[in-house]
Amino acid sequence: MTEMEKIQELVEKESRFVDKLLGEVSKVIVGQRRMMERILVGLLCKGHILLEGVPGLAKTLTIKTFCDSINVKFQRIQFTPDLLPADIIGTLIYDQRTGNFIPKKGPIFANLILADEINRAPAKVQSALLEAMQERQITIGEGTYKLEEPFLVLATQNPIEQEGTYPLPEAQVDRFMLKVLVGYPKKEEEKEIMERMTGTASVSASPVISSDELLNARGIISQVYIDPKIKDYILEIVFASRYPNDYGLKDLEGLISWGASPRASIYLNLASRAHAFLRHRGYVTPEDVKSIAPDVLRHRILLSYEAEAEEITSDDVIKQILEKIEVP
Amino acid sequence: MVKKFLVAVLFAIALPLSAQKLPPPRLHLPQPAQGSTSQAQTGGAANLLPAGSLPSLKLQAAIEPLKIYQAEFFNYLIELKWEKGKDICELEFKLPEVPKAEGVKAVGSEFESENLVKGESEQVRRIYGFRYFPEKKGKSAIAQADFEYRCRGTEPYAKISVPSFPLEILPPRFHLADLKGSRAFQASLALVLAAAIFSTAFLIWRQRRKKSALKPVMIEQTAENQALEMLKSADQFRIAGRYPDYFLALERVLKTFLEQKYAIRWSGRDRLVQDIAKAAAAELAENIDRLLILSDRVKFAGVEPSTPELDQAYRAVRGIIEFKKLEITGGVK
């Protein structure tokens, strides 16, 4: 048996839970397959996700259902302008019986965190959360506490209200592995949602996998084979976002202020492996890269004022790049 | 300013060509004479020196255009020039009468003045322009033109004249515009235009008909032949055991063929398979799907394909090309 065959066999075996998990979540959530897969990619790659979509698209319900299906702890934090860092990470409180200060852990001590409307809280709160996301540990007083794995933050941004918000700085947005746009369901899907939610039978998900299975799968992701041709393809995509003129994308010149950072190459590589894993494949294909590239790149490509004036989005730019770069 | 420039340009063009036709001018000294002397001029221009502080006036006349046709406007231009100096007074002119001509209607007049400074000397240039409309052909002449002038505020006027200017008015020229009003012309023009439109439309229709009759067969055959040739040349990679290159070549054959034949763009495996199923047959789409999965394994996972797998891949590509061939035969019938 060749090395590749071994990897393939391992991936096929270890990725069995994917269909089981997605099937269980789908008992509650209608459609939104893309969002569900991206959440799994985040869970498998230890990457955090920024969700963007109008209210009422089942963002919270999806995450909660994932928690129910994996049997991990879920916390939802509603970000408001008066929120303090201690409201998230916790604080020291005085114990009258012992006369000591004891740590009171905040809601961040959970596995799946939904940071709802992250742009409503001021910068110091956002920084506290993002630091925790990066370090995966919290310091309260003199004690440092590791956050339990799996640890995934899903932050939402409401794109339709801009007043009274504190938009995340570009450097902090870059820390999110994926930015997923959640769209409206299709007509048939919405009909199904209507029937499920107004019926008498209650819909809920039960645990179908353990968090250990998920953590075990994380180890497999790094073994998924990625051919040098695919690595080059990833680099070409990222570099095209920085120097579009060198790649025959003259139309994009002047539209991009800043191209994707090196984090984009790293995450595109990782996310493509996870995507292949979700398809039970032990190797990455260009289709994996193409499929995940918009989610990895859309918040990392900063557009110019000219682009904004012409109502060109980063998705339009990514589409052009993917069409131009030759698939290996 | 523009008008002034145009008059000057016209004069500059017309004068050198027509000046020789100008008869010598006559001098009418003011009464009483102030000691001025006349100076004979050659080549159709005159130099005049009125008495006292009056300056010496140079005079030139010309017509524009040089050939005058009946019913076409022309200009009669007269230029007066004199030097300004310490001893020279400021001149004032009486408005000249428009010189008449037989068989020619005077339609307007204007004049422009300008001061030309060259180093320390200063020259005044005054151009009179008279506009005429010749009503009859044949010989005619513009009557003598008189210009009366004096030192500002003094009496009396001195006079300088341009003698009668002979004209030869040629018969009218033919103009398409003249025919615009005639019914016969309008009718024939409409007929010619209609015939031109009809014949152009007929030619375009015939050409398109020819093209549409030829196009399907030519393109279908080209796409098919090209694909088969590409498939044949791809075999060299299989023989050499360069399997990733072989599958890359097979994909290229498919890509080219599908784009040419069905205008199917290569946009992801799932979409491509769906498009093939729609355009051709579900069975062929399944074969292509299997081929693409194998191709990915060979190209990106370093898997070496077995002989049956290689044959299957070849047959999948060939099958879709030959499927189209049958369809074309049916189409021709």
User: pLDDT by residue (tens digit) across A212-245?
Assistant: 888 888 888 989 999 999 999 999 999 999 998 8
Q: B11 with B149, same domain? A: yes
Averaged pLDDT score across all residues of chain B: 76
Count structural domains, chain B.
2
- B residues 242-271 near A, CB within 8 Å? 268-269
**A285–B296 C-beta distance less than 8 A:** yes
**Residue A120: inside a domain, yes or no?**
yes
**B299–A282 C-beta distance less than 8 A:** no
Q: A245 with A138, same domain? A: no
Q: Which residues of B touch A287 (CB under 8 A)?
A: 268-269, 296
Q: CB within 8 A of B28, min separation 6: which ones?
A: B146, B158, B159, B160, B161
Q: A148 with A279, same domain? A: no
Whether residue B322 lies within 8 A of chain A, CB to CB, comes out as no
Q: What confidence category does residue A125 fall into, taking pLDDT thresholds of 50, 70 and 90? A: confident
Q: Which one of B149, B173, B197 terminates a domain?
A: B173
Task: Given the cut 0.90, state whether the ipTM is greater than it.
Answer: no
B222 neighbors B285 (Cβ within 8 angstroms): no
Q: A177 with A268, same domain? A: no
**A229–B301 C-beta distance less than 8 A:** no
Q: A184 with A238, same domain? A: no
Whether residue B299 lies within 8 A of chain A, CB to CB, comes out as yes
For chain B, helix, strand, coil in percent to 5 are: 45, 25, 25
Q: A26 with A148, same domain? A: yes
Q: A37 with A115, same domain? A: yes
Query: A282 to chain B: nearest residue by CA?
Result: B301
DSSP state of B94: P
Measured CA to CA, the distance from residue B126 to residue B279 in angstroms comes to: 86
Whether residue A230 lies within 8 A of chain B, CB to CB, comes out as yes
Q: Which one of A182, A215, A248 terminates a domain?
A: A215
Query: What does the pLDDT read at residue B52?
Result: 53
Q: Which of A7, A226, A227 to mutate to test the interface with B (most CBs of B within 10 A)?
A: A227
In percent, the amount of chain A with pLDDT more than 90 equals: 20
**A4–B303 C-beta distance less than 8 A:** yes
Query: What does the pLDDT read at residue B8?
Result: 52
Mean pLDDT of B21-46: 36
**Least Cα separation, residue B218 to chain A (angstroms):** 30
Residue A242, token pair as written in the block = 């920085």
- Which among B268, B299, B301 has CB closest to A282? B301
Backbone angles phi, psi at B131, to 5 degrees: -110, 135
Q: Which residues of B touch A282 (CB under 8 A)?
A: 301
**Residue B183: inside a domain, yes or no?**
no
Stated as kind and residue range, the H or E segment containing A258 is strand A256-258
Q: B15 with B148, same domain? A: yes
**Residue B180: inside a domain, yes or no?**
no
**Least Cα separation, residue A287 to chain B (angstroms):** 7
Whether residue A287 lies within 8 A of chain B, CB to CB, comes out as yes
Query: B300 to chain A: nearest residue by CA?
Result: A227
Q: A149 with A293, same domain? A: no
3-state DSSP of A146-192: ECCCCCEEEEEECCCCCCCCCCCCHHHHCCCCEEEECCCCCHHHHHH
Positive or negative CA dihedral for A259, A263, A265, A270? negative
Query: A1 to chain B: nearest residue by CA?
Result: B303
**B297–A225 C-beta distance less than 8 A:** no
Measuring CA to CA, which residue among A62, A40, A50 is closest to residue A214?
Answer: A40
Q: Which one of B173, B204, B229 terminates a domain?
A: B173
In one letter, which amino acid is B225?
N
Q: Is the pLDDT of residue B25 over 80?
A: no
CATH number for the domain spanning B101: value is 2.60.40
Q: Which residues of B touch A33 (CB under 8 A)?
A: none
Q: B240 with B116, same domain? A: no
A51 neighbors A314 (Cβ within 8 angstroms): no
**Residue A175: inside a domain, yes or no?**
yes
Query: What does the pLDDT read at residue A162?
Result: 65
Residue B202, token pair as written in the block = 């007929």
Whether residue B297 lies within 8 A of chain A, CB to CB, comes out as yes
B287 neighbors B319 (Cβ within 8 angstroms): yes
Q: B23 with B169, same domain? A: yes
Q: Is the pLDDT of residue B46 over 80?
A: no
Q: Is B165 left (phi over 0), alpha (psi -120 to 50) or beta?
A: beta
Q: B152 with B222, same domain? A: no
**Residue A204: inside a domain, yes or no?**
no
Q: B162 with B239, same domain? A: no
**B299–A229 C-beta distance less than 8 A:** yes
- A residues 254-283 near B, CB within 8 Å? 282-283
CATH number for the domain spanning A44: value is 3.40.50.300
Q: A260 with A144, same domain? A: no
Q: A40 with A179, same domain? A: yes
CATH number for the domain spanning A230: value is 1.10.8.80
Q: B219 with B327, same domain? A: yes
CA A193 to chain centre: 24
Q: Which one of A149, A184, A215 terminates a domain?
A: A215
Q: Which residues of A touch B296 (CB under 8 A)?
A: 283, 285, 287
The whole model's pTM is what? 0.61
DSSP state of B19: G
**Residue B274: inside a domain, yes or no?**
yes
Which of A112 and B47 is assigned the larger pLDDT?
A112
Q: Is the pLDDT of residue B333 over 50?
A: no
Measured CA to CA, the distance from residue A98 to residue B240 in angstroms comes to: 81
Q: Which one of A183, A215, A247 terminates a domain?
A: A215
- Which among B268, B269, B300 has CB closest to A283? B300
**Residue B205: inside a domain, yes or no?**
no
- Which among A4, A286, A328 has CB closest to B302? A4
A320 neighbors A251 (Cβ within 8 angstroms): yes
Measuring CA to CA, which residue among A162, A179, A163, A194 is closest to residue A56?
Answer: A194
**Residue B200: inside a domain, yes or no?**
no
Query: What does the pLDDT read at residue B251?
Result: 87
Residue A181, token pair as written in the block = 């746009």
Owning domain of residue B309: 213-332
**Residue B324: inside a domain, yes or no?**
yes
Measuring CA to CA, which residue among B60, B115, B127 is closest to residue B84?
Answer: B115
Predicted confidence (pLDDT) per residue in A289-309, tens digit: 999 999 999 999 988 888 888
Cα distances from A148 to residues A73, A76, A106, A151, in angstroms, run: 10, 16, 13, 6
Mean pLDDT of B72-100: 86
Q: A90 with A188, same domain? A: yes
Whether residue A322 lies within 8 A of chain B, CB to CB, comes out as no
Q: B21 with B150, same domain? A: yes
- Which among B268, B297, B301 has CB closest to A287? B268
Query: What does the pLDDT read at residue B30?
Result: 36
Query: What does the pLDDT read at residue A318?
Result: 92
**Residue B195: inside a domain, yes or no?**
no
Q: B97 with B246, same domain? A: no
Positive or negative CA dihedral for A55, A57, A58, A62? negative
Q: A254 with A119, same domain? A: no
Q: A81 with A9, same domain? A: yes
Owning domain of residue A8: 3-199+210-215
Count structural domains, chain A.
2
Measuring CA to CA, which residue among B131, B108, B128, B124 is closest to residue B8?
Answer: B128
Predicted confidence (pLDDT) per residue in B238-297, tens digit: 888 888 888 888 888 888 888 887 777 777 777 788 887 777 777 778 888 888 888 888
Whether residue A6 lies within 8 A of chain B, CB to CB, comes out as no
Q: B153 with B241, same domain? A: no
Q: B107 with B245, same domain? A: no
**Residue B70: inside a domain, yes or no?**
yes
Q: B223 with B152, same domain? A: no
Q: Where are the beta strands (DSSP E) in A40-164?
A: 49-52, 74-78, 90-95, 100-105, 112-116, 137-140, 143-146, 152-157
